[in-house]
């Protein structure tokens, strides 16, 4: 009986340990980001934020000196990365963050996980938002966090986090994924902006999103849908360009401060392969953190370790991956030995 009890307790302990996902932290050393902390929040159903963000975090830590914490939505039972889960342990890391990089979609997190995000936004912490971050939260109307929902219609926080912080909420697709790619055309008047130093003409594989950012936004690049999946594909003549990357500021809840914001409606796993897009993202992180003087046209943007992006699609994430498995800088993102989940029904 005693033996069985010990075995049972040991088994429970192992299960608890397995389910507890420790934050993934890359410690930077030399570089302009030394002493500064970036927190990356990855959790979307389709565009493989769980690959884009740790790859970007490694670059910012190893080449530019930031301490980078990467948080994932994880299965509460197994501790494995699950893009569809409404469970993101570790958001308290935002308490001392100098920048939050957000790539979430339709999340409704538990109060104890959502509150640190709210606290960060209340102090107008700098934000970099990618792709589905415009509709990062899908929260019931009776929740204490309802105002962050992308559909929120209250005048006090119309269209939620997306519109009020990033400058735009969900507005609709503007080009079919895997059939139409997108060219980002630098706005001539914005060429001198620090985010665009060394950036010529990004090309991304993700299809377009229609956007009409807040009037106080400075548009850096216009997104032109293409009829094809190569950088030299012909322009989709029936689709005029719309904003694809911009910067703005937002105010703290008490109105005493402002935070910098960079938003792009792109950033899928395969988008990061493009040198110009990757450079823009590295520059954006430095700029948002107030380090624009450190941005040069030849900053190191090399991947750290092998970057093997999965084709973005609903339900297309690699299974059986725990955050700590990505700790070793030589570990591929992601290992091709990990199986792909069977695709789910397509959603927005």
* Average pLDDT of the residues of the chain: 93
Q: What would the pLDDT profile of 145-170 be if each residue is shown by its tens digit?
A: 999 999 999 999 999 999 999 999 99
Cα 67 versus chain centre, distance: 17
Report the C-alpha gap between 167 and 263 in whole angstroms: 8
Burial zone of 265 (CB within 10 Å; 0-12 exposed, 13-18 middle, 19+ buried): buried
Report the C-alpha gap between 105 and 147 in whole angstroms: 15
Asked if pLDDT for residue 12 goes beyond 60, the answer is no
Residue range 283-302: mean pLDDT, rounded: 99
Residue range 244-265: mean pLDDT, rounded: 98
Question: Are 192 and 218 a contacting pair, CB within 8 Å?
Answer: no
Query: Which residues neighbour 244 within 8 Å (Cβ) at sequence distance 6 or greater?
Result: 182, 184, 208, 211, 221, 222, 223, 264, 265, 266
Asked if pLDDT for residue 264 goes beyond 50, the answer is yes
Residue range 181-207: mean pLDDT, rounded: 98
**Lowest-pLDDT choice from 6-15, 208-217, 273-282:** 6-15
Residue range 80-89: mean pLDDT, rounded: 97
pTM for the predicted model, two decimal places:
0.93
Q: How confident is the model at residue 175 (pLDDT cuts 50, 70, 90)?
A: confident
Percent of the chain with pLDDT over 90: 88
CATH architecture of the region 22-172+244-326: 3-Layer(aba) Sandwich (3.40)
Residue range 171-182: mean pLDDT, rounded: 93
Report the C-alpha gap between 282 and 29 in whole angstroms: 17
pLDDT at 249: 99
């Amino acid at each position: 009986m005693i033996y069985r009890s010990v075995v049972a307790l040991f088994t429970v302990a192992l299960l608890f340990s397995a389910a507890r996902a420790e934050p993934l932290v890359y410690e930077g050393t030399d570089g302009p980001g030394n002493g500064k902390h970036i927190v990356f929040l990855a959790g979307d159903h389709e565009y493989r934020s769980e690959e884009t963000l740790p790859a970007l975090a490694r670059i910012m830590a190893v080449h530019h000196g930031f301490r980078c914490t990467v948080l994932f939505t994880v299965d509460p039972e197994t501790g494995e990365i699950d893009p569809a889960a409404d469970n993101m342990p570790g958001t308290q890391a935002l308490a001392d963050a100098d920048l939050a990089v957000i790539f979430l979609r339709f999340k409704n997190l538990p109060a104890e996980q959502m509150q640190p995000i709210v606290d960060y936004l209340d102090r107008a912490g700098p934000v970099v938002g990618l792709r589905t971050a415009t509709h990062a939260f899908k929260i019931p109307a009776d929740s204490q966090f309802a105002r962050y929902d992308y559909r929120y219609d209250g005048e006090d926080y119309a269209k939620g986090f997306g519109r009020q912080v990033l400058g735009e909420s969900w507005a609709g697709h503007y080009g079919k994924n895997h059939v139409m790619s997108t060219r980002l055309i630098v706005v001539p008047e914005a060429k001198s902006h620090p985010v665009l130093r060394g950036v010529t003409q990004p090309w991304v594989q993700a299809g377009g999103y229609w956007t009409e950012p807040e009037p106080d936004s400075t548009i850096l690049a216009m997104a032109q849908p293409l009829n094809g999946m190569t950088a030299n594909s012909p322009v989709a003549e029936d689709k005029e360009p719309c904003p694809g990357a911009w910067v703005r500021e937002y105010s703290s809840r008490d109105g005493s401060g402002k935070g910098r914001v960079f938003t792009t409606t792109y950033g899928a796993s395969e988008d990061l392969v493009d040198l110009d897009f990757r450079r823009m993202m590295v520059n954006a992180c430095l700029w948002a953190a107030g380090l624009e003087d450190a941005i040069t046209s030849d900053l190191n943007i090399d991947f750290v370790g092998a970057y093997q992006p999965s084709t973005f699609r609903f339900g297309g994430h690699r299974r059986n991956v725990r955050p700590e498995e990505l700790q070793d800088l030589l570990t591929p993102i992601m290992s091709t030995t990990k199986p792909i989940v069977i695709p789910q029904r397509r959603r927005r």
